[in-house]
A and B are shown apart, each in its own frame.
Chain A
Amino acid sequence: MLITEKIDDNTARLSLDGRFDFHSHRDFRSAYDAVLARPEIHQIAIDFGRVDYLDSSALGMLLLLREKAEAGNKKVKLTNLTGSVKQVLEIANFGKLFTIE
């Protein structure tokens, strides 16, 4: 999975591209660790527009990110949800845990 980072004011946008599964954990963690380390960032937006597959480990990673972000007073937002990615996040009830756009 490819991750590109873009910073707008106090929002960091991480755009994911490809399969979001167990094998992405190093890339994903290093991407969000870098963003979490920046105090001026208040919100992290994860863009799923180019993600074609999600497994349960991806959901686990998102929950871990949420925990760490909340500990640093940052919010996590999930954007561009479509197709099966959207369905999986709905079944997982992520709408109650994250802001979804």
Chain B
Amino acid sequence: MTVALIAWLAPPWARVGAVIVAAMLAWYLATRHGATTSAAVAPASSAAVTDLKELTGGIVAATERECLNNQAELDRTIGLIRNASDTLLASFNNMHAHVQTQHNFALQVASKLGGNLEAGANLQFSEFIQDTSKTLDSFVDSTISTSKIAMGLVESMETIDTQVKAVQNILGEIEAISKQTNLLALNAAIEAARAGEAGRGFAVVADEVRSLSMRTNQFSSEIRHHMDEVHGSIDLAHDAILSVASMDMNFALQSKSRLQTTMARLEEMNLEMGRAIEQIDKLAEQVNLEVDSATQALQFQDITSRLSAQTNRHMEALRGIMVGMKLAVQDTEHRPPAGQKPAQSGDA
């Protein structure tokens, strides 16, 4: 009885053990007591049997209670494990779904930013760079063709300037002739005066010739004046064309190299993006593997269920033994003391 009471406070597995030990002890005591009763002390035997019956009854009742309690606790444990593993499974499935969503988002971002991961992705940045490059090319083309036209104009103006110079040279000739004519007219006038009355008509002619030469000189200098103005205007136009035709081409070189740098950086960004996406892909795969192995590990629930069922069966067997023991003890009451044999009791 004391052993059973101590065992009551111990943990369940120890309790089962203690109960079994107590049962064995009781069994041993009962058989020994039976033997001594049959051999010598007949009057004391009925009291001993009553004691043994009480002890056995107590042990059997305690063991049965223990078995029932243990079975109930096992059932609760199984229930708890089942709930926990269901919750874990649901969490892992959610985790899997979230990782998948994250992966899809990463892919979307990559394709929107112009990553070259997928064929037919919208390459907005690259298109922009190409457009800019085309714009630069057409700007260079128009700059050069403007320069070409301007240089053509410059050549035409040079030709005009040459003509103006030719005209100015001719004007010099005309001026020289008119000066000469003037001189000749002056000489003629002097000769006419010396001739007296006879030369009067000639003096009038000489005077006319002189005034003609002077008018020629005046026209010539007017033409020279105009030609000088034409020359000045050509010089002005020359300077104006200079500002149109002469463009520093370094702007194009700089723009081109900036474009190339931007293009290279874009390429680099695409590569980095690709690497990041790849990494995310790998991580998602790993998470999937982890989730799979976790799900597999969660099958311990089945194993524990089976083990618990086995333990349950063991408990049932123990209860069976106890019932058998109770019956055996009851049997000893009805049998004659001489006919009792330890081997028979062992069968129960």
Chain A residues within 8 Å of B, Cβ to Cβ? 21-22, 25-26, 29, 54-57, 59-61, 63-64, 84, 87-88, 91-93
Contact = CB atoms under 8 A, between A and B. Distances in A.
Contact of A63 (B148, B154, B249): B148
Given A60-B145, A60-B245, A88-B252, 12 more contacts: A21-B246, A25-B151, A56-B144, A56-B249, A57-B247, A60-B149, A60-B150, A60-B152, A61-B151, A63-B144, A63-B145, A92-B144
A46 to B, nearest CB: 15
Interface string B228-272: 000000000000001001111110110010000000000000000
Closest 3 CB pairs of A and B: A60-B147, A56-B247, A60-B148
A66 to B, nearest CB: 10
A91 B151 contact: no
20 contacts: A21-B246, A22-B246, A29-B155, A55-B246, A56-B247, A56-B248, A57-B147, A57-B247, A59-B249, A60-B144, A60-B146, A64-B148, A64-B152, A64-B155, A88-B249, A88-B253, A91-B140, A91-B253, A93-B137, A93-B141
A35 to B, nearest CB: 16
A39 B143 CA distance: 33
A92 B148 CA distance: 12
B158 interface: yes
Q: Give the interface residue-count category, chain B.
A: 20 to 34
Contacts of A64: 148, 151-152, 155
Nearest to B250: A84
Contacts of B248: 55-56
Contacts of B152: 60, 64
Main secondary structure of the interface of B (DSSP, over half): helix
Given A29-B155, A29-B158, A64-B148, A57 B252 contact: no
Nearest to B143: A56
Contacts of A88: 249, 252-253
A93 to B, nearest CB: 8
B252 A91 contact: yes
Contact of B144 (A22, A25, A29, A59): A59
Q: Which of B145, B246, B256 has most A Cβ within 10 Å? A: B246
Q: Which of A21, A22, A92 has most B Cβ within 10 Å? A: A22
B246 A57 contact: yes
A60 B242 CA distance: 12
A56 B242 CA distance: 11
A87 to B, nearest CB: 6
Contacts of A63: 144-145, 148
A80 to B, nearest CB: 18
B159 to A, nearest CB: 10
A54 B253 CA distance: 12
Contact of A59 (B147, B155, B158, B250): B147
A90 to B, nearest CB: 9
